[in-house]
Structure 1
Amino acid sequence: MNVIRSIYGQKVSRGKGASTFDTSPFYSGYARKIRTELLSLPINVAIASILAVATATSASASINCADTLPSSYFKRIDDKQKFAGKLVTLANGTQQLQNPAGRVILDNLSNAYVLMNKYVWAERQGKQGIVTATGHVIVPFRYDSIAFEPDIYTSFIVSNHTPNGVTKQGIINRHGYWIYPLPIKTATQSASMQKSQSIAQITPTPWLRAARAPRALLPASISHAHYDSPKDRDYFVIASAGMTKKTIKVGLLDDKGTWVIPQVYDALQPLNPCTDKPLYLQARLQQKTALINQQHKTIIPLASNQHIEAFNDNVTPLLFLRSTLVAGSSATGFSEDIKDEIVSAQIIDATGKLRLSSSAPITKLLYHQLYMYRQSGKYGVINNQAKVILAPQFTRYRDEGDKVWVEKNGKMVRLEPLIK
């Protein structure tokens, strides 16, 4: 199996059902950088570059929610359910899918393994596909690679690589129906919507079963952006040339085939993909950024020299960190990595209300769930709910990991005793 590496998280799946984790921010920051650079390239060069990213990440990307899904998702899964079939390896090394009685359902398979006791992922004659235990085809054996979110398997991103260096992609849902590319009628409606930047809902034409109706994939970079557990719905960030065929634009498509965020942006960065809350995204358009949600509602308007990220995506209330960058800055990534580019910062809630302002970067203390902020030339301490723990009173501070020192009245003292 090809490597599946997360553009928005850290999960890396290797080989037959194995998975490991890399908690370094490298992958997330690196992928964001790649995506930003792609959007500045001529269309023919950018699409070719998408191939390089997609090839390295196996059909672009998967989010990393396998270990952080809400309980409402796992209630849907019967852990005691057994796979209603069996995989048998023959003497020649090929595999067969058989029913419990031993009748052959599908043969000439290789590298096959079971996904969540429901599906079989396998290769057949050099192409990848997915079937059920009874041989019902979900994803036909027509694709060079298939990407999916580990432990969810609610949708599958399929890819084929062309000889001229372009990756073409599409999306098939868990029932075996096309999500993307959109039918021609829906795509025409979508183009009209994007031109006006309206958020009007599009009603897709009847879905087609992927096994019966092959569909031409499109040059695109597709990422699984969010799984909405209460609604049992997937969302995808899609970067492609769109209907204009001139520039790469990015939008958010749901698994009903609806552009919930029109494909008009230069970049979309999901900020809280693994929570049981609506998805929020940093949107970039013409060197300006904004905070929007999955209904395309603006929380923080578009502005230059603005950086937005989740402040506490696993805590209620959900908060966001808005940082003002030095003029002309093009810095991307986590605020911790671009502190030298930050002039000031604010904490904003999901309604757009200001919770706290700082005249310096808001910085997390290394081994503590606390943050330093500055007002009127003094540093203070807040927690991950933006509650003030210690009002601004320190001239400077020094974080040594297990020990934090602050200067008060001209002396460096330990922070911990002051908090207690």
Structure 2
Amino acid sequence: MKKLFTIFLFVLLLSVTVNAAANMEITFWTHEDPNRTEIEDRYIAEFEQANPGVTIKRVTSASGKIQELVLTAFAANQGPDIFNMSIEDEYAYIVNERLAAVDFEAAGYPSLKAVYDAYVPGVLDPVTYKGKLYGLPLELTNWCIFINKKVFRDVGLDVEKDYPKTWEEMVEVSDKIAIREGEILKRRGFDFRYPYYLVAMVPMVEQLGGKLISDDGKTAIINDEAWLNFLKFMQEWGPSGRNLGSPTYTNARTLFNKDNNDIAMCTTGLYQEGRIRADNLDFYNSGEWMVVPFPVFKDAVKDVPCAYYGHYYMVNGQKPKENQQMAWKFVAYMLSHPEEYLTKVNIVQPTVELMNSETYKSMPYSDVFTNDMAKAHVVYYGENSAEIQALIREAVESVMLAGISPEDALKTLKRKVQEVLEEG
């Protein structure tokens, strides 16, 4: 009788487990990208068909909004099963132990070592903490400069010879291209990706010999002169200086694809090629755009291109174990299509196999991105990296828009970032 009861209990538990899996909803939050939506909706349908009873609910948000939404959801203990953001925004969730470590078996790997071996060395370091792996990369991205050749020709510039190699040249070229109505810029030569100060602007400071944080992690804002010169450059760039751009204008990357003679250059990644193709096929096929390396200052002491960053898929550690396993299984299914992500979305999943493939090497200007990345470093990430980025934004926008002197902005920035470090 006892044996029969044991068997009955086992069957009952198995039935409960199967029913739970057969009625499972996995929430998946990610940033907007129409090209990704097209293929990921198909992956979801295929995965649901192969796993009856499992529903994947994919929710997209603007790339500048998802950080706030994820933070608010986790604060209320209502985070999604799966989410992805840039590592500087995600890292706090790792160190605050809100995530589930990668389940390599659910993801289809024979061992944790096999996961590391599948990726380019160092790529998984930012999501490794206390010996555990907490994320798998959707993409590894660095930015270069996209150029509309027609706008250069319109002002008599030979783009092959005259594209800006230094930031000083960027100022002069942009001034020549700019069209203004009073103080309003109707056409910009170039403008920055203002929300992403850690990715694109900290490297500019490093070119001048500065650093964000000391090597021992204890001191903020190294080399005042370098930071001061950078802030003076941004002040001169803005409305109260040469009036070449501003955080108040529409993002240059967003305008570039339209080819409406309102922007000549923008900073963005290889993925932009897929977006040009989707948004404006005629422009994509026209041969009227090109990609060049990230500029350096004329008197740079270091050749530092734009930092690279990773968007990593992560799984909520508060979800039931069976949800975590199913989430990693689904993530692995999506990531089993690296060549389709590259050819249809132009994002690079940094596997050894893909980076050595002819598919990657044949992408337009992939060599420009590869060469810049070889000289670059990963974006600064830490428990308080999002807060530090907000403080850099405050400093830059204060000199560009609020009439604050670079000296005062630097003093405030240094004090506040040091406080963040010490609080951390």
TM-score by length of 1: 0.23
Higher helix proportion: 2
Q: Higher RCO, 1 or 2 (CA under 8 Å, sep at least 6)?
A: 2
TM-score by length of 2: 0.23
